[in-house]
Amino acid sequence: MTSTLITNIGQLVTNDPTHDGTKLGLIKDGALLIEDGVIAWAGPTSDAPTKQIKKTIDAEGMCVLPGYVDSHTHMIFAGDRSNEFRARMLGEIYTAGGIASTVEKTRKASDELLLSHAEFLLAEANAGGTTTVEIKSGYGLTVKDERRSLEIAHKISDETTFLGAHVVPIEYKDSPKDYVDLACGPMLDAVQPHAKWIDVFCDKGAFGVDDARRILKAGIAKGLLPRIHANQLQEGQGVTLGVELDAASVDHVSHLSEKDIELLSTSKTVATLLPGAEFSTRSPYPDVRPLLEASITVALASDCNPGSSYTTSMAFIIAIAVREMHFSPEQAIWSATMGGAKALRRTDIGQLVEGASADFQILNAPSYIHVAYRPGVNLIEQVWRNGLQLI
């Protein structure tokens, strides 16, 4: 058995309220025992077990928190769209149509290039404190290209999502129903072994609610679990559909009606906010307060994609959420860790409790508040995943 004790943690964020009665479950001068890749114990250094410890690490008063759980990325693609970003910053408006240009480049790219690019993004995410990433397909949009996108995603993550219904590809422009048939039939069959989740972009310029329902139900019938991109660009029926199908998460949700909020508050469905997309499309940020007042579980994720949010930095997302969306620093940290875990319906990540995966970060800072307080500064001292030091 390998056991490592980390002591002298100035502030330990566990997300276990039993420690101090708060959501973040803070322990002052804490310690963490790791055995065989999982957390064996968390508590004050003064109570730390002393027997059979193979290795001790002195955290020198730094802050330790769970690794970020980035529950929403689109990491399988080729090329970038920096010119579109530039045009938006000069006044153009974001539309879902830009996806087609990434589709063209992704189809032309080799498997090796797609994998090495995704590995590069994953390494970047890990270096920023992220220890779990969900990865969607959606830039292939043919049976072959969606299958290989998911095969590649599956090599680097267990949290893979089939997003064949990202947009209708140009070759089906005049027969979108045929594309929906493809996505519910042969394409779904081809990706099924490599996908855990099914997702649909249900919004202006993408898919309507009836097609979204058909596609999600087809996926559920094949054993995939539903999540949905909804209400990003305008209000619509996507959130209602997500709740109806017990989706693990409704994502983007920047335009919610009172009815949407009421529905979410009575469901298990998490609302995932992706402020990188508002940043990069120069759109207004949603206010999280009505969601929290309705006791809705809120996650924060990067939405890493080349069109609307080309970042893997969860620290950046947290800083925006605090500054622009009325998250408290503690709620933002919780949403980027435990919130992400709940959006993936996982109980083994996002928290530093006995039995959970030893996925955590050591910050060169005395408190989690510094993540938002010191925007743009790399505070990462170490990152551990499954009890192994990555950074």
Partner that binds at residue 99, options ligand NIG, Fe ion, none, CB closer than 5 to 8 Å by kind: ligand NIG
Nearer to ligand NIG, 26 or 198 (CB): 198
Half-sphere exposure of 132 (CA within 13 A, CB side): 32
Closest approach, Cβ 101 to ligand NIG, in A, equals 8
Partner that binds at residue 157, options Fe ion, ligand NIG, none, CB closer than 5 to 8 Å by kind: none
Nearer to ligand NIG, 11 or 232 (CB): 232
Nearer to ligand NIG, 260 or 359 (CB): 260
Contacts with Fe ion by CB under 5 A lie at 303
Closest approach, Cβ 232 to ligand NIG, in A, equals 6
Nearer to ligand NIG, 98 or 140 (CB): 98
Residues 272, 249: contact at Cβ < 8 Å?
Answer: yes
Beta pairing partners, 198:
162, 226
Place of tokens 């579980």: 297
Nearer to ligand NIG, 219 or 275 (CB): 275
Residues 14, 27: contact at Cβ < 8 Å?
Answer: yes
Cα-only R_g, the chain: 21
Closest approach, Cβ 249 to ligand NIG, in A, equals 13
Closest approach, Cβ 81 to ligand NIG, in A, equals 7
Contacts with ligand NIG by CB under 6 A lie at 74, 98-99, 102, 201, 229, 232, 277, 303, 305-308
Q: Running DSSP on this structure, what letter comes out for residue 92?
A: P
Give Cβ neighbours of residue 143 (< 8 Å, ≥ 6 apart).
Answer: 182, 186, 187, 190
Question: Cα–Cα distance between 299 and 344 in angstroms, integer?
Answer: 10
Partner that binds at residue 129, options ligand NIG, Fe ion, none, CB closer than 5 to 8 Å by kind: none
Partner that binds at residue 67, options ligand NIG, Fe ion, none, CB closer than 5 to 8 Å by kind: none
Question: Cα–Cα distance between 219 and 214 in angstroms, integer?
Answer: 9
Partner that binds at residue 169, options ligand NIG, Fe ion, none, CB closer than 5 to 8 Å by kind: none
Q: Among 373, 311, 314, 361, which Cα is nearest to 339's? A: 314
Give Cβ neighbours of residue 254 (< 8 Å, ≥ 6 apart).
Answer: 231, 232, 273, 277, 278, 283, 284, 285, 286
Closest approach, Cβ 133 to ligand NIG, in A, equals 14
Nearer to ligand NIG, 148 or 229 (CB): 229
Partner that binds at residue 201, options ligand NIG, Fe ion, none, CB closer than 5 to 8 Å by kind: ligand NIG
Partner that binds at residue 98, options ligand NIG, Fe ion, none, CB closer than 5 to 8 Å by kind: ligand NIG
Closest approach, Cβ 233 to ligand NIG, in A, equals 8
Nearer to ligand NIG, 277 or 318 (CB): 277
- DSSP assignment string, 238-301: HHHHHHHTT-SEEEE--S--HHHHHHHHTSSPEEEE-HHHHHHHT-PPPPSHHHHHTT--EEE-
Closest approach, Cβ 70 to Fe ion, in A, equals 11
Structure token pair of residue 335: 């949403």
